[in-house]
Amino acid sequence: MNIAVIGAGIVGICTAYELAMDGHRVTVYEKSASIAEGASFANGGLLAPSLGAVISHPQWPSGALTSWRRLLQTARVGGGTRLEDLRWLITWSRRRSEQDFLAALAANHALLEASMVQLHDIVRRTGLSFDRSEGQLALFATARESERFAPKLKALKQLGVAFKNLSAQEARKLEPGLGAALPVHSAVQFPQDAVGNCRHFAQLLKEAAQAQGVVFCLGTNVQTIAPAAQPGIILETGATPLAFDRIVVCCGSDPSRFMRMAAPHCRRAVVHSQSLSLHLREPLNGPRSAVVDTASQVAIVRLGNRIRVSGGASLGRPMTTSDEQSFRPLYRALNTHFPGAANLREGVQAWTGSSLFIGDGLPLIGQTPLPGVLLNTGHGHNGWGMACGSARLLADLIGNKPTRLDPAAFNPLRFTRTA
Ligand SMILES: Cc1cc2nc3c(=O)[nH]c(=O)nc-3n(C[C@H](O)[C@H](O)[C@H](O)COP(=O)(O)OP(=O)(O)OC[C@H]3O[C@@H](n4cnc5c(N)ncnc54)[C@H](O)[C@@H]3O)c2cc1C
């Protein structure tokens, strides 16, 4: 088939690669001058099949978010917030039954796990070598924090996730750079989780995709999709639709006009988060892999000879990189968790990125109501961890092949209203 992929973030690149591996003719359209310039640019790097990102799971039934105050702490609402974002926030925070919650958690978990398998497969096949490290440590400063986390562990245990409860001493042994003054009550280790440089991987996979015949049209903005029996795309530069057998929209947080067409009833929001990337000053003082502060949801990870600190969630206008105050929680977390590890004076990259979140916490992967138009988007804070698995699932759906995962949970048509 002749297939257009719109968007060259990590999801679009993985999608193009998998489609090309299945023998399709693939053209990728990306409005930026280079790839992985959106949310895939400097994300937290967590490949987290066990825990995923907490904000991606709407309302833990344990009552993690029982009041608006807590809710607003989790996703700060700033100027420029749209009605669409607020609707998502309400859907996202609505208390749901334990059964519904566990079903969504299980679906996300299965996708994250399948994605890790697919990533390893790609690495084995292509020999790609990118910055990565193994294991994730969730830290609790107090007994109360640890207790609040217990229902999540119970749910993960039900899903068969392997983890190890650690004492403060054991946690410090695993991550010897943790600051002596940092209060650590206990920790949980997720040995099968990993950290990887998303952008680096995307760049290498782009080359592998090109070797499979994928054509990249960079600096090419897709204006709209022309729905028809054979769908087409209309570029900013031309009025005549370019016809394809299939069009896959992988536009991350940027697809509002496509989403209005392809998933009109889906509750969604664009959530902005931040990261700091810093050079290691003293490697022994830095993290060995990933440490997540469960109270603040800040992740501190090792990426080769750099440290990346990521966190925050806000609706409305994104913070600018000159908004120093908004990066303060990240600096604070770095200085308390790994004091002296990073060079704070030179080469600090402060970055704000935006992710698309869906009301039920699950991405949209598959056919839309528009003939021949598919979505692969809405991965929230798990897009790197889910990219390879989502791409394989989408390629299997296009090829009418048996899928490793049950696609029903991710079906974009789940939001279609029946009259
Ligand atoms: C601070 C932060 C930390 C994060 N940490 C993690 C983490 O630790 N682990 C994890 O798994 N996930 C993490 N995420 C989420 C993850 O980064 C995203 O889910 C993922 O990058 C989404 O990839 P994508 O390809 O869908 O979107 P993007 O990377 O945003 O790519 C979409 C692309 O589509 C292009 N595009 C849009 N519209 C058009 C158009 N009309 N025509 C042509 N091109 C178009 C854009 O230019 C862009 O390049 C984090 C996100 C942020 C912001």
Domain map of the chain by residue range? 2-415
Answer for the pair 316, 78: CB distance below 8 angstroms, yes or no: yes
Q: Give the angle subtended at the CA of 410 by the CAs of 408 and 412, to the nearest 5°.
A: 100
- CA separation for the pair 293, 217 (Å, rounded): 40
Return the pLDDT at 418. Answer: 53
Nearest atom in ligand 1 to 45's CA: 8
38 pocket-lining for ligand 1 (C-beta < 6 Å): yes
Per-residue confidence at 259, pLDDT binned at 50, 70, 90? confident
Architecture of domain 2-415: 3-Layer(bba) Sandwich (3.50)
For 280-333, how does the pLDDT look when each residue is reduced to its tens digit (9 = 90+)?
998 889 999 999 998 888 999 999 999 999 998 888 777 666 677 789 999 999
Q: Of residues 259 and 197, which shows the higher confidence score?
A: 197
Mean pLDDT over 92-114 rounds to 83
43 pocket-lining for ligand 1 (C-beta < 6 Å): yes
For 334-383, how does the pLDDT look when each residue is reduced to its tens digit (9 = 90+)?
999 999 999 999 999 999 999 998 988 899 999 999 999 999 999 999 99
Per-residue confidence at 183, pLDDT binned at 50, 70, 90? very high
Q: Tell whether the model's pLDDT for residue 252 goes beyond 60.
A: yes
Mean pLDDT over 385-394 rounds to 98
Nearest atom in ligand 1 to 11's CA: 25
Return the pLDDT at 416. Answer: 76
Mean pLDDT over 238-246 rounds to 91
Return the pLDDT at 77. Answer: 66
Return the pLDDT at 90. Answer: 76
Return the pLDDT at 266. Answer: 87
Looking at ligand 1, which residue's alpha carbon is closest to its atom 21?
A: 40
Q: Of residues 66 and 321, which shows the higher confidence score?
A: 321
314 pocket-lining for ligand 1 (C-beta < 6 Å): no
59 pocket-lining for ligand 1 (C-beta < 6 Å): no
- CA separation for the pair 70, 17 (Å, rounded): 41
Answer for the pair 302, 346: CB distance below 8 angstroms, yes or no: no
Return the pLDDT at 411. Answer: 96
Span from the CA of 377 to the centroid of ligand 1 (angstroms): 9
Q: Give the angle subtended at the CA of 252 by the CAs of 106 and 138, to the nearest 5°.
A: 45
50 pocket-lining for ligand 1 (C-beta < 6 Å): no
Q: Tell whether the model's pLDDT for residue 67 goes beyond 80.
A: no
Span from the CA of 193 to the centroid of ligand 1 (angstroms): 20
In this prediction the pTM is 0.93
